[in-house]
Amino acid sequence: MAPLVELPLTPGGVLLAAACVVAGAPLFARGRRAWRLRRSLARIRSAELTDDVAGLVCVSGRVALESPLFAPLGGRPCAGFELTVRGLGSAVGGTVVERRVFRLVAGESFARVRPERATWHMPVTARRTLAAGEAPSERLAALLDSSAELRWLRSRGVALEMVERSLEAHRVVSVLGMARSEPVAVAEAGEELAATGTDGGFTAPRLFPGPEQPDYELTLEADDFLERVQVHADPPGRALLVPSRGTAALVWIGPLLTIAGLLYLARAAEPLLQRLG
């Protein structure tokens, strides 16, 4: 404690000590989450998706689309893509990203994977150079115009180097996420029929009811513990992203900052307390 006692008392030091006290708790919370996640990921192993998975899991399966989407260069059906564009011989460029909800399917089991709060590791699926003055397709032009940097490059008549990464339909991937079963609406197998010779109508079962919907749906998503879902398709068995040791060390750094700040503030307040006493 001697080094702390010998520190000079200054207004700047008081402000810094107060900042340490305030920052200690969130740093501790971040470090604790990283520490727990590192321990959990060290034990986890990739397995095929089943209906009874729950909690933090790493499961594999095939990509099934819920809505039509096509990669801008390769033209193949995909759940999402990332188009990286740079001017030929220039450092100026940009990235256009579009991702959709998809289903991870393994046998009779499936889980929905949302694109929010997710990191997708996708392989390169196409490359193309758009020559200066060459007119792109209508859809590609719309994608390029969605970025201010790429609009500027097009207006300058610069040749464009384009690299496409996409998550193609039917590709085998592994997903790290929190598995949860969510309730879904169930369609009633009945319809309102008009009665003959009576007042009003009545509800009767359909003669040819459609397939019954399940009353729950499995999802793979992020939460406060796992901040981002990891989708690995490049390759599917890619090593999981683990929080760094430095981030995990915040579980000790946070409390130390708080204690040091409180001690400094207590020393700064000591003369005032003596005068009041």
- Determine, yes or no, domain membership for 32: yes
SS3 250: helix
- Determine, yes or no, domain membership for 33: yes
Structural contact between residues 56 and 225, judged by C-beta atoms closer than 8 angstroms: yes
- Determine, yes or no, domain membership for 77: no
Structural contact between residues 65 and 166, judged by C-beta atoms closer than 8 angstroms: no
Q: What is the predicted pLDDT for the residue at 213?
A: 52
Domain count along the chain? 1
- Domain, as residue range, for 255: 12-45+248-262
Q: What is the predicted pLDDT for the residue at 176?
A: 92
Q: What is the predicted pLDDT for the residue at 208?
A: 45
- Determine, yes or no, domain membership for 238: no
pLDDT in 10s for each residue of the chain, 277 residues: 455 556 677 888 888 888 988 998 888 888 888 888 788 777 777 788 888 888 888 999 999 999 999 999 999 999 999 999 998 878 888 999 999 999 999 988 999 999 999 999 999 999 999 898 888 889 999 999 998 888 888 888 889 999 999 999 999 999 999 988 877 655 444 445 555 555 555 454 544 444 455 567 899 998 888 889 999 987 766 777 777 888 888 888 888 889 888 888 888 877 766 666 5
- Residue-wise DSSP of 208-236: S--PPPPSEEEEEE--SSS-SEEEE-SST
- Determine, yes or no, domain membership for 21: yes
Tokens matching residue 75: 């033209």
How far is CA 151 from each of CA 22, 87, 101, 160, rounded to the nearest angstrom?
44, 11, 28, 11
Nearest of 275, 215, 269, 254 to residue 20 by alpha carbon: 254
Question: What is the reported pTM?
Answer: 0.70
- Determine, yes or no, domain membership for 16: yes
Q: Which residue has the tokens 């929190």?
A: 178
Q: What is the predicted pLDDT for the residue at 207?
A: 45
Helix-strand-coil split of the chain, %, nearest 5: 30, 35, 35
Q: What is the predicted pLDDT for the residue at 153?
A: 87
Nearest of 126, 121, 120 to residue 164 by alpha carbon: 126
